[in-house]
Every structure is written in C-alpha cells, then in structure tokens.
Amino acid sequence: MDTFTTLTGVAAPLHLVNVDTDMIIPKQYLKTIKRTGLGVGLFSEMRYMEDGSDNPDFVLNKPAYKGAPILIAGDNFGCGSSREHAPWALLDFGIRCVISTSFADIFYNNCFKNGILPIKVTPEQLAALFDDAARGANAKITVDLESQTITGPDGGSISFEVDAFRKHCLLNGLDDIGLTQVKADKIKSFEEKLAEERPWA
C-alpha cells in the first residue's frame, strides 16, 4: 500500500448526500478479477452521456477539477455495499482523499486499506471547504496527516480526528496481514482455548 503523508491539490466539490457505492462504481464494473483499471467506471452513470462521451456538467469533467486528488461530498458518503471496488476506482482515478461530514462504516474502513484518507469534518467546516472548492483550480488545499490538518487556500486551517492505529498504518504504508501475523502465537493459543471451550464453533 502507498503511504499517505501530505497531499496538496484541487478539491472537487460533489454536492450530493448519501453518495452510495452503486453510484461510485456501478455493478457492471464488478466483474473484474483485478484491483486496477477501475478508474474508467468511477461515477460512470453521472460522468458519461448515454453515447459514452463525457458529461460536461459533472464536476470531475470540468476543466477546473481535472486531476483533482481530493473530493468533497455531502453526508453519509459511501453508503451501500461493501465493494472495495469503490475505493479502488477512486484511487485508480487519482483521488487520494475524500472529505465529508460522515462516511458509511465499511467504505470508511476500505479507504484505509488502500492508502486513501477519508476525513470527517463538521457541517460548518464542510460548507467552508465547499466554498473554497468552488474557486476551482485557484484554490488548492493541503491535507497533512501527521499534524491532522487541512489548510485552505487562504491559510486557514482545520484540524481533524483520525484513529491512531489507522494513521500509523497510512503514514507508513503498512500491510495489515503482516502486522497480524506477528501475533501468530496469540492466535494459536486462542484457537486452542476455543477448541476446548466452544468446540462446535
């Protein structure tokens, strides 16, 4: 997994609440057996016209937001299915940070496994960030995970919360499985105890 330390760039504003994972990556893209190449399907039902050309009204197609590495969206981002194809599609498209007031649980979790930082802010902070983002390419923001701050184009700064363990893994690009396998002895003793106390399980 790639590390996440700091990120500076344009933030694309997506003025929608309850953005679900079917919206982020529709089911026709789930037939892949790979993790890569999903960027083409990101938000496809909103991003493309019926003839397959780009929808000029969709935020990520607007010249000001081309290549934006940060997405700002309304409440409850990522609700719906557990498909990790959603963060894979974001990552493949080039988005490394999503900012919202709230995230669905499984999506939030999946982001951290893929080097994407989801940031929860207050509704007031979100409104301010939407205002900044409205200024397009002239308003880059900087996300610093180490200091847990978002710095706006005019120098104002917002601090955010992130779980210490997840932060550590993101900063260092750590593989969860490797970390868990260090505890192999503990897993083994748990299994021995389980075989004794709840053998049916």
Partner 1 sequence: MSTSAPRTLYDKIFDDHIIDRQEDGTCLLYIDRHLVHEVTSPQAFEGLRVAGRRVHAPSKTLAVVDHNVPTTDRRFGIDDPESRIQVETLAENAREFGVEYFNELDKRQGIVHVIGPEQGFTLPGTTIVCGDSHTSTHGAFGALAHGIGTSEVEHVLATQTLIQKKSKNMRVSVDGKLPDGVTAKDVTLAIIGATGTAGGTGYVIEYAGEVFRALSMEGRMTVCNMSIEGGARAGMVAPDETTYAYVKGRPRAPTGAAWDAARRYWDTLRSDEGAFFDKEIRLDGGSLPPIVSWGTSPEDVISVEGLVPDPDLIDDADKRDAKKRALAYMGLVAGTRITDIPVDKVFIGSCTNARIEDLRAAASIVRGYKVREGVSGMIVPGSGLVKLQAEAEGLDAIFKAAGFDWREPGCSMCLAMNADKLGPEERCASTSNRNFEGRQGFKGRTHLVSPAMAAAAAIAGHFVDVRTWPRAG
122 binds partner 1 (CB under 8 A): no
Q: Residue 82, Cα to own-chain centre: how many angstroms?
A: 13
**Which lies closer to partner 1 via its Cβ, residue 75 or residue 144?**
75
56 CB-side CA count, 13 A? 0
Crossing angle of helices 105-112 and 85-93, in 10° steps, is 50
Which of 16, 64, 162, 174 binds partner 1 (CB under 8 A)? It is 16
Site for partner 1 in 153-192 (CB under 8 A): 163-165, 176-177, 179-181, 183, 186-187, 190-191
- Parallel, antiparallel or unpaired: strands 6-14 and 140-144: antiparallel
144 binds partner 1 (CB under 8 A): no
**Which lies closer to partner 1 via its Cβ, residue 17 or residue 128?**
17
Q: How far is the CB of 32 from partner 1 (least distance, A)?
A: 8
Burial class (CB in 10 A: 0-12, 13-18, 19+), 85: buried
The 3-state DSSP class for residue 187 equals helix
Binding site for partner 1 (CB under 8 A): 15-18, 20, 22-23, 26-28, 30-35, 45, 74-76, 79-84, 87, 102-106, 109-110, 113-114, 163-165, 176-177, 179-181, 183, 186-187, 190-191, 194, 198-201
